[in-house]
Structure 1
Amino acid sequence: MEKISWDAPYLDRKVWLLEHLETLHLDAKEALVLLLIDHFNTIHVNIHHELLATKLKINEEEVEDIFNALAEKGYLNLDFKDGNMVFDISGVYALENTSEVNYAKSLLEEFEDEFKRSLSPSEMDRILNLASIYSERMVIVALNEAASYDKRDLNYIERILISWTDKGLSVEDVENGKR
């Protein structure tokens, strides 16, 4: 991603976001939240959890989870200015986020290599979601486990991860043969 002046008056940030969705590794709700934040910032509406929850028809706790996920990716920075909360999404446009993109690509490449085919967008989203829940390392170990049984299927991989979590196994336990 090239670094651009995200606040330039000629830049349509909503169009830019839509054009770059596949490189940002966002789920649908995260993308909608970014679009809504940009919209509300543009029309100078104070943003709050309840407003976004109402717009997206979700609860405020889920909005908070989305804010946290976006902040972890470096896409959202919350600050206070003149007594108001400021929602800064300039991180979406910054070069510093390439580490997240590289992380996701390496994980997805692992799956494509093992599946011996290109992944669909929904498969990519699902894999990235699994990595956010269980960790990249644990997902790769589950992929290797599934491959050892010739079961290269995301449902099977997810069942492995759920089973390991239910048993309280860490990635180190699994790597050391404890099952």
Structure 2
Amino acid sequence: MDNNLIKYLDYGSVNISGAILANINNLGLTATESVILIELSYLKTRGINFPEPQIIVDMTGFDTKLVFDTIHQLVKKRFVAITSGKENVDEYSFTPLNQKINQLLEQHPDSKIEVTDSIKDTEEESLSNRQELFNNFTQEFGRPLSPIELETINDWLTIDKYSTKIVKLALREAVLKQVYSLKYIDRILISWKKQNITTVAQVEEQRKNYEQQKNNSNNQSTDLPKIPIFKIKKE
């Protein structure tokens, strides 16, 4: 690992998982590959160097065959390698991934800044915030998220630069309306963006104003003068 990559990992405490999330397209990863690669990286930090696929299945909710096939693709595309560790026990090596990230830095020197900005936004959110956000969606939807849904949520954070707190509030609005759709949540986020609503406080203020206008409208309708009803006699 050369100095460029060391600086990359040290800059702003950004880790490998953060680098993956911020550079999915540049690295040529699919959403599913990204999720499983991040989980493998996470497990390695916990001392699980060669996890059984079932562990990944339990963590992601993905189909067993999908996990098998994706890990095979990650090895084939040289994002990870299977090597022999201590006592000749197999383990996943992330050296190939480190090399790809280093090449990305050499080709795009400014990518370090882009990664940092995307991971640490105005609210200094961390990777754990993103993982928690994915978990929130899974819990509220009552099912595992599809790869396309994972990619959509990641795009909100990485490309559109929405904070995790704003996305959580949009999710809450959708749940209150009992609409479990990313398209509906996307419309909420776009609406807030058009109104220049970018903070939690502004969302709460908008909700209060809406409720107040609604109450005023109801009061006006009840305060209308009563119109006397005359019974017309038939001649």
Q: Indicate the TM-score class for this superposition, using the shorter chain for normalisation.
A: 0.5 to 0.7
Residues 1:127 and 2:156 aligned together: no
- 2:201 pairs, out of 155, 160, 172, with 172
- 1:38 pairs, out of 80, 102, 123, with 102
SS in 2 for 1:165: helix
| C-alpha distance 35-72 of structure 1, shift in aligned 2 (>3 A) | farther
Kindly report which structure 2 residues correspond to 1:15-94, keeping only aligned pairs within 5 A, or say none: 24-32=20-28, 38-39=102-103, 47-49=106-108, 64=110, 66-72=111-117
Moved over 3 A (4+): 20-24, 32-41, 71-74
Q: Offset of 1:108 from its aligned partner?
A: 0.4
Is the CA contact (8 Å cut-off) linking 2:18 and 2:127 kept in structure 1?
no
Amino acid aligned to 1:119: L
The residue that corresponds to 1:82 in the other structure is none
- Deviations, residues 47-70 of structure 1 (Å, cap 9, x unaligned): 355xxxxxxxxxxxxx95x54332
Q: Offset of 1:107 from its aligned partner?
A: 0.7
- Deviations, residues 118-165 of structure 1 (Å, cap 9, x unaligned): 112221221122134211111000000011111111111011010011
The residue that corresponds to 2:130 in the other structure is 104
**Cα distance in structure 2, aligned partners of 1:121 and 1:26:** 16
The Cα RMSD (Å) is: 3.5
Provide the TM-score with structure 1 as the length reference: 0.52
**Cα distance in structure 2, aligned partners of 1:109 and 1:70:** 23
Is the CA contact (8 Å cut-off) linking 1:107 and 1:140 kept in structure 2?
yes
- Deviations, residues 82-139 of structure 1 (Å, cap 9, x unaligned): xxxxxxxxxxxxxxxxx84322210101111111111122212211221342111110
The structure that has the greater radius of gyration is 2
Q: How many residues align?
A: 119
Identity of aligned residues (%): 27
| C-alpha distance 116-71 of structure 1, shift in aligned 2 (>3 A) | same
Q: Which runs of 5+ in 2 are unaligned?
A: 3-15, 30-97, 120-124, 211-235
Q: Which runs of 5+ in 1 are unaligned?
A: 1-5, 8-19, 42-46, 50-62, 75-98
